Homo-oligomer: A and B are copies of this chain.
Amino acid sequence: MNRTYRLILDCPDQVGIVTRVAEMITRHGGWISEAAHHSDVESQRFFSRFEIQADSLSFGIETLREKFAPMIEEYQMNFNLIDSCQPKKVILMASKGSHCLSDLLDRWRSNDLDCEISCVISNHTDMQGLVEWYGIPYHHVVIDKDNKAPGFAQVEALVDEYQADCIVLARYMQILPQVLCEKYRHKVINIHHSFLPSFIGAKPYHQASRRGVKLIGATCHYVTEQLDEGPIIDQDVVRVTHSDKVEDLVRLGKDVEKTVLARGLRHHLEDRILVHGNKTVVFS
Contact = CB atoms under 8 A, between A and B. Distances in A.
B15 A19 contact: no
Interface residues of A, number: 70
Q: Which of A97, A217, A233 has the most CB of B within 10 A?
A: A217
A123 interface: no
A199 B143 CA distance: 35
Contacts of A284: 241
Contacts of A212: 231-232, 278-280
A99 to B, nearest CB: 6
Interface string A232-265: 1111110001110100000100110001001000
A133 B135 CA distance: 13
A34 interface: yes
A145 interface: no
Given A23-B23, A211-B278, A15 B30 contact: yes
Contacts of A198: 195-198
Contact of A22 (B18, B110, B251): B18
Nearest to A126: B109
A102 interface: yes
A235 B31 CA distance: 33
B215 A56 contact: no
Given A19-B23, A198-B195, A242-B279, A254 B112 contact: yes
Q: Which 3 A-B pairs have the closest CB atoms?
A: A212-B279, A19-B26, A102-B106
Given A97-B110, A195-B198, A241-B282, 19 more contacts: A15-B26, A15-B56, A18-B26, A18-B35, A19-B19, A19-B32, A33-B39, A38-B243, A41-B245, A98-B106, A99-B110, A195-B195, A197-B198, A212-B232, A215-B236, A215-B237, A237-B237, A242-B279, A242-B281
11 contacts: A15-B30, A18-B32, A19-B26, A36-B36, A97-B110, A110-B254, A133-B133, A196-B198, A196-B211, A213-B235, A241-B284
Interface of A: 15-16, 18-20, 22-23, 25-26, 29-41, 56, 97-99, 102-103, 105-107, 109-110, 112, 129-130, 133, 195-199, 211-215, 217, 231-237, 241-243, 245, 251, 254-255, 259, 262, 278-282, 284
